[in-house]
Structure 1
Amino acid sequence: MKLSKLEKFFEVEKVVFHSLDLALYNVSAIVEGEEHMITDEKGERLKSHNLLSLQKKLQHVRTNNQVIRQSSAYDEMIGGPVKTNNEMEVPLGDNKLY
């Protein structure tokens, strides 16, 4: 979903910053129960090494629920059983530091 379209919704249920690798983040949003990856006007996923720059791009999206979501390869790295889902979500505030 394009960022310009996301900004038109009255309220977005949740904005999710996905922590990918070495401080690389991309963004999805849950709207009407469905999760959508957020893109720019060219269709490229929003991504950055700077979380604050992504929050700035999303400053016009109306939501009270922002989280960082991260999956861990820890179980696999130590030889433990593979878990079906080991995602962790941490609430994130927008303090307008940008």
Structure 2
Amino acid sequence: MLLKELKKISHIDKVKLHSLESNLYQLSVVIGDEEDYVQTEHGRFLTSHNKLDLQALFKDKTVGAMVLCHQSAYDEMVGQPVGMGNFLEVPLGNTDLS
């Protein structure tokens, strides 16, 4: 989904801020049963070093849930089979940025 398309949508079921590495976040949105990563007009994934900048995109929208997501690359260290997806999803608290 392009950022300009996201700006036209008033309700999002779930916003996911994916923590990729030290202070780098990538944005996806869930609408209905479909999850889409948000891209710039140049076709690059929308990322930011400041999660509040990404959250601010939803200031005037209705959002069902906003979460921070992290997928560990170290499954074998916690006794999980490699590639099974040790996935953490944490609800973000007060997201009213006005």
TM-score, normalization by structure 2: 0.81
Provide Cα deviations, 1:67-88, integer angstroms capped at 9, x if missing partner. 0010113333x37342512111
Q: For residues 44 and 58 of structure 1, do their structure 2 counterparts lie closer, same or farther at Cα, with a shift above 3 Å needed?
A: farther
Secondary structure of the residue that 2:21 maps to in structure 1? Answer: coil
SS at match of 2:35: strand
- Look up the match of 2:51: 51
Q: Structure 1 residues 42, 87: closer, same or farther in 2, change over 3 A?
A: same
Is 2:97 the counterpart of 1:96? yes
Matching residue of 1:87: 87
Q: TM-score if structure 1 supplies the norm length? A: 0.81
* Count of matched residue positions in the alignment of Structure 1 and Structure 2: 96
Per the TM alignment, residue 32 of structure 1 is displaced from its structure 2 partner at its CA by 2.1
Give the 3-state SS of the residue equivalent to 1:64 in structure 2. strand
Q: After the TM superposition, which residues 14-53 of structure 1 pair with which residues of structure 2 at under 5 Å, given as runs? A: 14-53=14-53
For 1:3, the equivalent position in structure 2 comes to: 3
SS of residue paired to 1:44: coil
The amino acid that maps onto 1:30 is: V
**Percentage identity across paired residues of the two chains:** 38
Please tell me whether the aligned partners of residues 3 and 41 of structure 1 are also in contact (alpha carbons under 8 angstroms).
Answer: yes
Q: CA RMSD in A?
A: 2.1
Off by >3 Å, runs of 4+ in structure 1 = none
In structure 1, stretches of 5+ residues that fail to align are none
Q: Partner of 1:87: helix, strand, or coil?
A: strand
